[in-house]
Structure 1
Amino acid sequence: MPLLQTTDLRRQYGNLPVLKGINLGIDAGEVVSIVGASGAGKTTLLQILGTLDRPDAGTLEIDGQNVFALNDRDLARFRNEKIGFVFQFNNLLPEFTALENVCLPAFIAGRDEKATRLRAESLLTTLNLAHRLNHFPSQMSGGEQQRTAVARALINEPAIVFADEPSGNLDSQNAEELHQLFFRLRDELGQTFIIVTHNEVLATLADRTITIRDGVVYG
């Protein structure tokens, strides 16, 4: 059974249908890219797959859970524990250090503080940020900030990580390093990634590329 499975997902805004019956299965350990022209529905699809928005119709199962059968409170808990996010502009909190930013989702989940800090340190070290644990985002480069965001996405050992244009704000060298990082984490941790991107290199590197066109997926 796929780690993520959608059946006939539909979403429209007013009279405009954006998703027109999305049927999609993604296996554990896959790195999947989602591509398509601006306005094709990529962001809407990612928001629904990431449980940030609810569809008008259809179902989404993640790790065996029919997520939209949950009430808002239980869905928020599921999202925090099972899903990680990496955004184009990293969304790190400027008043917290790298270590504190990474720890936040685990603290929200009520996890043990000491164990959380140890895992955060381990993740940041794995991502070559051991020298940045106590630095604030403003004291880090763009690439370092984005790797910190990746560590934050991984802190709760999520079933799946969604990335929305993760290298869109990086120069070519940092973008390449970030791309390779996704595949290293897949190989070393068995992590699953779904990545919305306009970057053709990253899309080509993915195990599978899904194209969304006029609200329908191909691939």
Structure 2
Amino acid sequence: MISATGIKKQFGELEVLKGVDLNIAQGEVVSIVGPSGAGKTTLLQILGTLDKPNSGSITINNTEIQNLKEKELARFRNENIGFVFQFHQLLPEFNAIENIILPALIAGKNKSKSEIRAKEILSFLKLKDREHHKPAELSGGEKQRVAIARALINDPVVVFADEPTGSLDSKNQEELHKLFFSLRDEFKQTFVIVTHDLHLAHLSDREIRMKDGIVM
């Protein structure tokens, strides 16, 4: 479902990725692990089309990413990819439902139908009674689950998560670990997770280990 070949990335003289090859199957929960500076987040951003490699090719869901123009790429990203970051990145002036449906509205989807879908996802995430709460009224774990709901609103084929449990306490970390697998089973998405959390990594279907810009 995701195929990357010969991915290289430099920032000035610094070579961050040195020719990464990987393949990820549909429905896998994959963790990318390794020491700080290994290139994990850079790889995740490139796989998620947020950044471009200096060389190499990426295919996601049978689409060759490097062949897309900027507007086509933005549309592809919005329709096929969800993102979850370490810090939830929710807009403070919007409530949970309003935050969740933003990607759907950007995609031009019907607002009422998107709100119904958002409520369905929140119900699955056990946040039905938090629909109209703003971020300041939510706990850390609740904010991250709202962020996950936002990532799922357009039914993406893959969700990329960068240190999604990094800002949570141990109880919420454990709940989020279980949630990723429940989501995969329920919605059939592929999850690619950059993490320092070895417990989460060990639970994954597969660990991709990186060091010094290469896959070990």
Same fold (TM over 0.5): yes
- What is the root-mean-square deviation in Å for CA atoms of aligned residues? 0.6
Query: Which runs of structure 1 show a deviation greater than 2 angstroms over 4 or more consecutive aligned residues?
Result: none
The one-letter amino acid paired with 1:176 is E
SS at match of 1:18: strand
Give identity over the alignment, percent: 58
Q: CA deviation at 1:128?
A: 0.4
Matches within 5 A, 1:94-173: 94-173=92-171
Structure 2 residue corresponding to 1:21, chosen from 19, 22, 25: 19
CA deviation map 1:153-202 (0-9, x unaligned)? 00000010000000000000001000100000111211110000000100
- Match of residue 183 from structure 2: 185
Distance 1:154 1:76 in 2: 17
* Alignment pair present for 1:203 and 2:201: yes
User: When the two structures are aligned, how many residues end up with a matched partner?
Assistant: 216
Q: CA deviation at 1:13?
A: 1.0
- Match of residue 89 from structure 2: 91
SS at match of 2:167: coil
Distance 1:78 1:188 in 2: 23
The one-letter amino acid paired with 1:6 is A
The one-letter amino acid paired with 1:141 is S
CA deviation map 1:64-83 (0-9, x unaligned)? 00112111111111111100
Q: Which runs of 5+ in 1 are unaligned?
A: none
TM-score, normalised with respect to structure 1: 0.97
Distance 1:128 1:15 in 2: 48
Q: Which runs of 5+ in 2 are unaligned?
A: none
